Amino acid sequence: MKAIINLSRRDFIQKSTILTSGLLLGFYLPKKGLAISSATTFAPNAFLRIDRTGTVTFMLNKAEMGQGVYTSLPMIIAEELECNWQDIKVEHAPVDPAYDHTMYGPIMVTGGSTSVRSEWERLRKAGAAARMMLIGAAAKKWQAMPGECTASGGEVSHSKTGRKIAYGDLVEEAAAQEAPEDIVLKPSSEFKLIGKEMARLDVPEKVDGTALFGIDITLPGMFTAVVARPPVLGGKVKTFDDTAAKKIPGVHTVVAIDRGVAVVADGFWSASLGRDSLDIDWDNGILANLDSDKQAEEYAKMAEKPGLPAADRGDIETALQQAEKTLEAAYELPYLAHAPMEPLNCVADVRSDGCDLYTGSQFQTVDRNNAAAAAGLPPEQVKLHNTYLGGGFGRRAVIDSHHIVEATQISKAVGAPVKVIWTREDDIQGGYYRPRTYTKVIGGLDDDNNLIALKQVIVGQSIAKGTPFEEAMIHDGVDHTSVEGASDSVYAIPNFRVEYHMAPAGVPVLWWRAVGHTFNAYVKECFIDEMAKMAGKDPYQFRRTLLKNNPRELAVLDLAATKANWSSPSPKGQGRGIAFHTSFGSHVAMVAEISINQRARVKVEKVVCAIDCGQTVNPDTIVAQMESGIVFGLSAGFYQEITFRNGRVQQDNFDSYDLLRMSEMPKVEVHIVDSTEPPGGVGEPGVPPICPAVANAIMSITGRSLRHQPFRQEDIAA
Amino acid sequence: MITLNVNGKDYSVDATPDEPLLWVIREKLGLTGTKFGCGQSLCGVCTVLVDDEAVRSCVTDVGDVAGSKIVTIEGVPDDHPVKQAWVDDQVPQCGYCHPGQIIGAVSLLKENPKPTDADIDSAMDGIVCRCGTYARIRRAIHHASADGTAGGKS
Ligand code: FES
Ligand code: FES
């Protein structure tokens, strides 16, 4: 999502300037929007509500999908507010401009590993402003100077007289305070919560089984629907016969919607039996003959032609001609499904005067607006109630909100609340994949075996093309998510060029955890090892030279190598591989230790991970996200691909689209660099380095490169 | 009408015998802790105990378990060492797979109060976690096992 970051960085800076210059943003004004105080509640801004019991309600504007924002974001606000941690209660915020993303423009969105990064300043200021108002209220009550009062542990105290008053007892007076113009933030040396390991607030519910996900929501009079969608993506219904389906006990009705035919029933099982009994004649559309092998050939052909420049430094063609040695390679990475553990679902209740949606959404404003259009209602009359997400990974930030629109259309058609449930097969075969890519790389070494030239030609579909995000994310024909992690590489290579070919649209594609960094980091980091091998150099030392101008990056690489004892020989029968990548504002290096058994099966024994994500908020969440990113990456590297024959997706459930299991889980060691730099992301940056680290470890044993994902047995076996 | 005993309570439900236990539990008994992940016995997130044995409720016909003792995540006591360890070790991320993981762990410890890593691998391999919490699941099972009381409880 780089382009959006760049574009809206301007917007972000504008807002930040407004903040620091003391002008008030709407969200600080107690009388505006959602921040309405009353005699019993102090609501200094849209994020906070303090009641007479001292309970502090934090309005969470981000999706909790496992990445820990349900805890890390209130930690930030509680730090400045100086309330008791146990007084914090979290509620999901409704759709409102007060909660819009500070970097991505006027929508609520959870993505790009930005939650902590983008809310860091806003939430600190929101908490600090409230603290100052509470101090002001106490001072007024005591006829003291605010400067003589301090706030801590949910109360204000006056040192001179020893008086103390709890926040809950200041609610009314604080609400009458003017919002402060100059907000004083705590220095990081005084942080009590930020940077400490705090237990996740969502864990108890997720352990006792009461946590509610979208799929768990039930409304009175609700039906459950399962939708028959085209067997070829982009197809359409020609005709259908629902006679048999309607005879299934429990089936209420069958309705045609934009994306297929919905069987509406008392429950999932009847709906699903009903769907099996539908007789549908499909128009397969333009992808009817899609074939992955043929597509690979087309991509390879495109890569032979000059693409559009995404990065250009030095004189690549001359440098390659003059190079002492050159190496050319092509890397292929597949389409990938996100496969969140909770299949997509949405409850919609459309009435003539309004609509309620219950779902786990990373894209609240977009989903609300698309539902409003489908319901034929103004957006203000549509309420989206966000729930916990049983995994997101980008799959619940869908530009066309297709599953939300399905539920809305069906509810409108039957005049009752409806829950649409996708099956796992619907999910794996339903499109919106990580784009497949073909990348051609040429590297050149000088006579001292220094890497002096690197050229990369990337072929892949654009996610933004043809969407409202096109203008922000595609510049001069170059799609930024397709080249992120390649064109912005900091490696000191004097002659460097990245080119891009936009592959024809067709298969619906979407941001998949770490997006373009997933394929570009793989190519970059595997090829660096291939070049190091040709240069006869140690891959860690080879990278050190390339990072000589980047001390922060170099420190992360060194930390991983040191903790993994890189300089000592690997245990017998094992190989080591290293990779480094920067994404979403964080630097991550990994060393993977692997073994290969007699049957050429690879086992990842251990991963040592080092991360510099700036100031940490909840360190254990960072560790968890690194563990998570490693498993996510390994699942793709070893098992996952979506392929097409005759337009049909060939995978359909976890047997054909497998993922890493308990017995394959490596030992993971995470080292976090101590830093006071602004926070970076953590949800995605753990994904990109793991596969190249493993591939490089395999190559260290077999001597052979792995230029294809998922890894092929013939590339591993001797 | 089918009679079911779930978490020690008797229910009489209107269901056909070939309906999957998963959907009866979730939709007809309103116990939504048990999750749907694949519907094909491939992911394990729908795991419940039937007469102390971990089974995949998505492929279990409700008619086959009438008269059996069924335990879902809601029926595992909050002070059960497995649930406690899950909180102490901060295991869940998105949390969606964990009802199944916890039931899997409860069943493992009942049979084998001191499982080795290899025992954990073989017992838990069928329950997947897309968020990749396996390292913590393993740690929590060891911690629950060290508590020593998990064997008797379910
Ligand atoms: S839902 Fe039963 S095993 Fe996946
Ligand atoms: S915690 Fe998300 S699937 Fe396991």
Q: Does A659 touch chain B (CB under 8 A)?
A: yes
Domain boundaries, chain A: 9-200, 214-284+344-421, 292-335+433-716
The alpha-helical segments, DSSP class H, found in A183-315 are 203-208, 243-247, 268-276, 292-304
Q: How far apart are CA A20 and CA A30, in angstroms?
A: 19
B37 CB within 6 A, ligand 1: yes
* In the predicted structure, residue A217 carries a pLDDT above the cut 90: yes
CB contact under 8 A, B27 and A267: yes
Which residues in chain B have Cβ-Cβ distances shorter than 8 Å to A424?
37-40, 42-43
Check pLDDT > 50 for residue A22: no
Chain B residues whose beta carbon lies within 8 Å of the beta carbon of residue A390: 35, 94-96
Identical topology for domains A9-200 and A292-335+433-716:
yes
Judge whether A660 is closer than 8 Å to chain B, CB to CB: yes
Percentage of the residues of chain A whose pLDDT score is greater than 90: 93
Whether B125 and A624 lie within 8 Å, measured CB to CB:
no
Determine the Cα–Cα distance for residues A675 and A66; give it in Å rounded to an integer. Answer: 24
Model confidence band, residue A173 (pLDDT cutoffs 50, 70, 90) = very high
Distance CA(A332)–CA(A460), nearest Å, equals 10
Q: Which residues of A touch B72 (CB under 8 A)?
A: 209
CATH class of A9-200: alpha beta
Residue A567: which pLDDT band, with cuts at 50, 70 and 90? very high
Q: How confident is the model over B62-108, as pLDDT tens digits?
A: 999 999 999 999 999 999 999 999 999 999 999 999 999 999 999 99
User: Is the CB of B97 inside a 6 Å radius of any atom of ligand 1?
Assistant: no
B150: CB partners within 8 A, 6+ apart: B80, B81, B82, B106, B109, B110, B113, B144
Q: Per-residue pLDDT for A27 more than 80?
A: no
pLDDT at A489 over 60: yes
Smallest CA-to-CA distance from A593 within A572, A570, A626, A615 is with A570
pLDDT in tens, B14-38: 999 999 999 999 999 999 999 999 9
Please state, in angstroms and rounded to a whole number, the distance separating the CA atoms of residues B124 and A313.
51
pLDDT of the residue at B148: 78
Chain A nearest CA to B56, separation (Å): 15
Which atom of ligand 1 is least distant from the CA of B59?
2
Domains, chain B, ordered by start: 2-74 (3.10.20.30), 81-152 (1.10.150.120)
Assess if CATH 3.40.50.300 describes domain A292-335+433-716. Answer: no
* Other CB atoms within 10 A of residue A544 CB: 16
Q: Which among A208, A423, A661 is the nearest to B125, CB-wise?
A: A661
A362 neighbors A110 (Cβ within 8 angstroms): yes
- In A105-124, the residues whose Cβ lies within 8 Å of chain B are none
Q: For residue A40, what pLDDT band results from cuts at 50, 70 and 90?
A: confident
Distance in angstroms (rounded) separating the CA atoms of residues A41 and A54 = 10
Q: How far is CA B133 from CA A463, A610, B59, B136, in A?
A: 29, 19, 25, 6
Q: Is A66 at the interface with chain B, CB within 8 A?
A: yes
Q: Is the ipTM of this complex over 0.90?
A: yes
Contacts for B7 with CB less than 8 Å, ≥ 6 apart: B31, B70, B71, B72, B74, B75
For the segment(s) A214-284+344-421, the CATH number from 3.40.50.150, 3.40.50.1010, 3.40.50.620, 3.30.365.10 is 3.30.365.10
Cis peptide upstream of residue A180 (ω within 30 degrees of 0): no
Ligand nearest to the CA of B38: 1
Summarised one tens digit per residue, pLDDT across range A669-687 is 999 999 999 999 999 999 9
Token digits for A555?
Answer: 């420190």
- Give this prediction's pTM: 0.95
> How many contacts, defined by CB atoms under 8 Å, are there between A and B?
172
Best of A110, A208, A669 to mutate (most B CBs within 10 Å, chain B): A208
Residue A718 — pLDDT band, cuts 50, 70, 90? Answer: low
CA B39–ligand 1 middle distance (angstroms): 5
> Which pLDDT score is estimated for A466?
94
User: What is the SS3 string spanning A65-117?
Assistant: CCCCHHHHHHHHHHHHHCCCHHHEEEEECCCCHHHCCCCCCCCCCCCCCCHHH
Q: 3-state secondary structure string, A140-195?
A: HHHCCCHHHEEEECCEEEECCCCEEEEHHHHHHHHHCCCCCCCCCCCCHHHCCCCC
Strand, helix or coil at A308? Answer: strand
